[in-house]
Amino acid sequence: MHESSAPPTSFLRKHVFSLDHKVIGKQYLDLALVAVVTGMVLSWLMRLHLAYPELAIPGLGRIAPNGAAGGVMTPELYLSIMTMHGTIMVFFVLTTAPFAGFGNYILPIQVGAEDMAFPRFNMMSFWVTCVAFLVLLAAFFVPEGPPLSGWTAYAPLSAIGKDAGPGQGTGQTLWAISIGIFCIGQLLGSLNFIATTLDLRARGMTLMRMPLSTWAWFITSVIGLIAFSVLLPACVLLVLDRVAGTSFFIPAGLVVSDRLQPHAGGSPLLWQHLFWFFGHPEVYIAILPGFGIVSHILPAFARKPLLGPKVAISCMAAIAFLSYTVWGHHMFLSGMNPLSATLFSVPTLIITIPATIMVLLWIGTVYGARMRFTTPALFCLGFVSVFVSGGISGFFLAQPSIDTYLHGTYFVVGHFHFVMGVAAMFGIFAATYFWFPKMYGRMMNETLGKWHFFLTLIGVYATFMPMHYLGLAGNIRRYSAFTDDYMKGSLPLHRFITMAALFTGAVQLLFFANLIWSRFRGAKAPANPWGATSLEWSIPSPPPHDNFGGKHPVVAHGPNEYGGTGPEGDHVMQATPESLGTV
Amino acid sequence: MTSPTLAPGSSPARTGVWIGIAAITMSFTAYTSAMVVRQGSGADWHHVVLPGILYLDTVLLLLSSGTLELGRRRLRAGASGAMLLTVTLALGLLFLAGQLVAWRGLAAQGLYLSSNPASDFFYIFTALHGLHLIGGIAALGYLLGRLRADPAPPWSALEAVTLYWHFMGVLWLYLLVVLATRL
């Protein structure tokens, strides 16, 4: 299926407009790296302002003269930065890195294919996503600045135009166009992931022999296919409301900035329904690859098979299905009928069952194991920890009566940053430390990696745990400062969180240093440094252009054959001939 | 699209079209539900009289599905089907031209994209269906090019394009029912 067995020679074809899934995967990861640095810097700006509302941030006044004259940001600029932080992180980091990035690089190799089913669509998928990112960033450079309606872009605020505030003009239009383009990119990606998994598996690679990571990417792409197919129409309608004078989301008689809006008859709730029908599955698009990565990596370091792989696959499939039945739990405060709220609350509580089973399977896998505590293994264990910490607060929020109190507070900020943000990031880190040797042919530094893990773990707990207490104490979210009202008492804790966030950010320099140093100076990686079983470890590091060097792998084993004796030691690789492998 | 690693009977092109059909169905479902909600949310819904040419267009599109199916069968039987594929492509273009005439008809009634919510949805549905059909026309063009270069038909591409084209017909029938009964 590879376009040609000989690698392309021109620079453009090799590194820029490459059809090779490995190059495209790396491009996605590089894009996510740029995005995550951007998003993290934005979060520091927010945190600095929350802790020291009078602080003039050097240089900010020059970058945003309208929003931060003299360097002290206005509440509007705070909201703009919050919007861009959320949008960049959710779309361009949590979707691109664990799903599009690692999925692109690893999935075709794990199923034994030479490339994705549609390499041209794959290339388009990346470049379309890249354009979406640039369009979003362009919002920083329009006169009124970026939008301020949050990453959820609630209508009518997002639909009205510049009457609704600075950034709601061109900035918000760019946001809607960017997300629409992003949807197209991810749809093309999902198409490739599904077709490749279904049609390009090597001989003997039955569905049940696929590694859990590939299962997770496959299920995630099914979720993405449906979710982005709904977000795209929502963005189209939003753009039409903004530029063509239609009224899908804007009700009649709305007076904003002393001006009667020239719209009538629209439904702001329609946007919320369309958005959250995408938005809740999006949470699983961010986290399911992490489920797969952890389920794939943990056994390699526990030297034990994953407990209940079929149960794990069923749980992920159940989560995918249930993720489409719970979107209303984001809308308990929208004035919905209490009966509807109950109908959304029940599946929300039910979805915790497969999620909990997954956690038990991971714990059961490492229980009694002689763990090899490498950096990727540590990040997997960290993933389980933060996923549980963030997941437990979900039990509270799933209940409408409790959510009514907590929804507008920092409790929710703490919840989703743990369960979706940090957990997914830990999955990304685990995947990076695990697959880096395969991708670049060099090992990452273990000492730096372990420091990175422990300091990050401390940092994220110090950052997000206190937010739960702030929320319980009624500290409202989305405000830019807590100085003039009853929330003044929360300022010391906010300062602590800011320190923790800056600390966690600084710790990431260890990661960047490790990435760059290992890329050029790391120890040469053997084909299978971890003694793992799946197909990517039976080919050289880094893999040849067509992955398997012109050969067609034949699979005779499942991905979970750890413990016992095989020709390679205490494990049997998937490509080991049947007669040789016993576990 | 053949590979020694490919399992017998599997065709990524056909799978790809099925996946595309799922995504397109989902997005039109989203637009339809948006239409239902919008119809109920305001008192400004004015019914649109559908331009008569839409029914002629429907006949053209269904006919094109027939010619494509005939062409596919002829190719399967080892005969030349390029002519029928060309006719299909021409019928597709005629359908699009008819849709443009329908738009002109609506504009003549003074109904533009933002005139009222019903006309919004008329333009959105027809424009999006047209865009997807242009994709099908491009694929047919690609197929004809391949047939000209090499008389042995690219089977999986042929099957995939046929499937997609038939789906475009089914989608149009659905939209016509929606347009005729809801707008």
The Cα–Cα gap between A224 and A189 comes to 9
Question: What is the phi/psi pair of residue A40, to 5°?
Answer: -70, -40
Q: How many CB pairs under 8 A join A and B?
A: 124
Residue in B26, B124, B164 to test binding to A, most A beta-carbons within 10 Å: B26
> Which residues of chain A register pLDDT less than 50?
1-4
Inter-chain contact B10–A198, Cβ cutoff 8 Å?
Answer: yes
CB A93, CB A102: distance < 8 Å: no
Nearest CA in chain A to B4: A552
Nearest CA in chain B to A232: B27
CB A539, CB A186: distance < 8 Å: no
Q: Say whether residue B131 is in contact with chain A using an 8 A CB cutoff.
A: no
CB A397, CB A330: distance < 8 Å: no
Q: What is the DSSP letter of A56?
A: P
A117 closest CB neighbour out of B12, B29, B43: B12
The Cα–Cα gap between A160 and A446 comes to 52
Q: Kindly state the greatest CA–CA separation across chain A.
A: 80
B39 vs chain A: nearest CA distance in angstroms?
9
Q: Say whether residue B20 is in contact with chain A using an 8 A CB cutoff.
A: yes
The Cα–Cα gap between A234 and A426 comes to 31
Structure tokens at B97: 């031209």
Enumerate the residues of chain B whose CB falls inside 8 A of the CB of residue A552: 4-5
Helix boundaries (H) for B77-116: 82-108
Q: What is the tally of helices (H) and strands (E) in chain B?
A: 5, 0
Q: Say whether residue A554 is in contact with chain B using an 8 A CB cutoff.
A: no
Inter-chain contact A266–B38, Cβ cutoff 8 Å?
Answer: yes
**The tokens 């010619």 sit on which residue?**
B67
Taking the alpha carbons at both ends of chain A, their separation in whole angstroms is 34
**Cα A277–A280–A284 angle (5° rounding)?**
130
Enumerate the residues of chain A whose CB falls inside 8 A of the CB of residue B113: 240, 244-246
| A221 to A111, A188, A215, A226, A332: CA distances (angstroms) | 15, 10, 10, 9, 28
Inter-chain contact B34–A203, Cβ cutoff 8 Å?
Answer: no
The pLDDT score that the predictor gives to residue A4 is 47
Instruction: Look at phi and psi of residue A167 and say left if phi exceeds 0, alpha if psi is from -120 to 50, else beta.
Output: left
A199 closest CB neighbour out of B12, B43, B117: B12
Structure tokens at A163: 């009457």
Q: Say whether residue A204 is in contact with chain B using an 8 A CB cutoff.
A: no
Enumerate the residues of chain A whose CB falls inside 8 A of the CB of residue B42: 247, 251-252, 264-267
Neighbours of A56 (CB within 10 A): 14
Question: What is the phi/psi pair of residue A6, to 5°?
Answer: -85, 135
Inter-chain contact A199–B7, Cβ cutoff 8 Å?
Answer: yes
Q: Say whether residue B1 is in contact with chain A using an 8 A CB cutoff.
A: yes
Q: Say whether residue A256 is in contact with chain B using an 8 A CB cutoff.
A: no
B42 closest CB neighbour out of A195, A232, A252: A252
The pLDDT score that the predictor gives to residue A583 is 54
Enumerate the residues of chain B whose CB falls inside 8 A of the CB of residue A109: none
Stated as kind and residue range, the H or E segment containing A344 is helix A338-366
The Cα–Cα gap between A169 and A179 comes to 16
The pLDDT score that the predictor gives to residue B2 is 39
In sign, the C-alpha dihedral spanning A546, A551, A557, A561 is negative
The pLDDT score that the predictor gives to residue B3 is 47
Enumerate the residues of chain A whose CB falls inside 8 A of the CB of residue B131: none
Rounded mean pLDDT of chain B?
91
Q: Say whether residue B16 is in contact with chain A using an 8 A CB cutoff.
A: yes
Q: What is the tens place of the pLDDT at every residue in B2-58?
A: 344 555 667 899 999 999 999 999 999 999 999 999 999 888 888 888 999 999 999
The pLDDT score that the predictor gives to residue A271 is 96
The pLDDT score that the predictor gives to residue A5 is 58
Q: Which of residues 217-246 of A touch B (CB under 8 A)?
A: 225-226, 228-230, 232-234, 236-237, 240, 244-246
Q: Say whether residue B108 is in contact with chain A using an 8 A CB cutoff.
A: no
Give the predicted TM-score (pTM) of the model: 0.95
A229 closest CB neighbour out of B30, B113, B114: B30
B160 vs chain A: nearest CA distance in angstroms?
13
The Cα–Cα gap between A84 and A75 comes to 14
Enumerate the residues of chain A whose CB falls inside 8 A of the CB of residue B45: 265
A270 closest CB neighbour out of B10, B27, B37: B37
The Cα–Cα gap between A1 and A411 comes to 49
The Cα–Cα gap between A226 and A495 comes to 41
The Cα–Cα gap between A335 and A22 comes to 48
The pLDDT score that the predictor gives to residue B1 is 37
Neighbours of A398 (CB within 10 A): 21
In the Cβ-directed half-sphere of A56, how many Cα atoms lie within 13 Å? 8
Radius of gyration of chain B (CA): 19
SS3 category, A558? coil
The Cα–Cα gap between A492 and A488 comes to 9
Structure tokens at A32: 């996510």
Inter-chain contact B5–A1, Cβ cutoff 8 Å?
Answer: yes
The Cα–Cα gap between B143 and A201 comes to 27
Q: What is the tens place of the pLDDT at every residue in A226-270?
A: 999 999 999 999 999 999 999 999 999 999 999 999 888 999 999
Write the DSSP string, A58-72: TTHHHH-TTT-GGGP
B46 vs chain A: nearest CA distance in angstroms?
12
Q: Are strands A255-256 and A569-571 parallel, antiparallel or unpaired?
A: unpaired
B96 vs chain A: nearest CA distance in angstroms?
21
The pLDDT score that the predictor gives to residue B8 is 60
The pLDDT score that the predictor gives to residue B7 is 59
Structure tokens at A463: 């950052």
Enumerate the residues of chain A whose CB falls inside 8 A of the CB of residue B16: 117-118, 191, 195
Q: What is the ipTM of this complex?
A: 0.94
Q: Kindly state the greatest CA–CA separation across chain B.
A: 61
The Cα–Cα gap between A469 and A106 comes to 40
Determine the residue type at B110.
G
Q: Which of residues 47-106 of B touch A (CB under 8 A)?
A: none
In the Cβ-directed half-sphere of A333, how many Cα atoms lie within 13 Å? 10
Nearest CA in chain A to B16: A195
Q: What is the DSSP letter of A259?
A: E
Contacts with A448 (C-beta within 8 Å, 6 or more apart), sequence order:
A510, A513, A514, A517
Stated as kind and residue range, the H or E segment containing A260 is strand A259-260
Write the DSSP string, A351-416: HHHHHHHHHHHHHHHHTT------HHHHHHHHHHHHHHHHHHHHHHHTSHHHHHHHTTBHHHHHHH
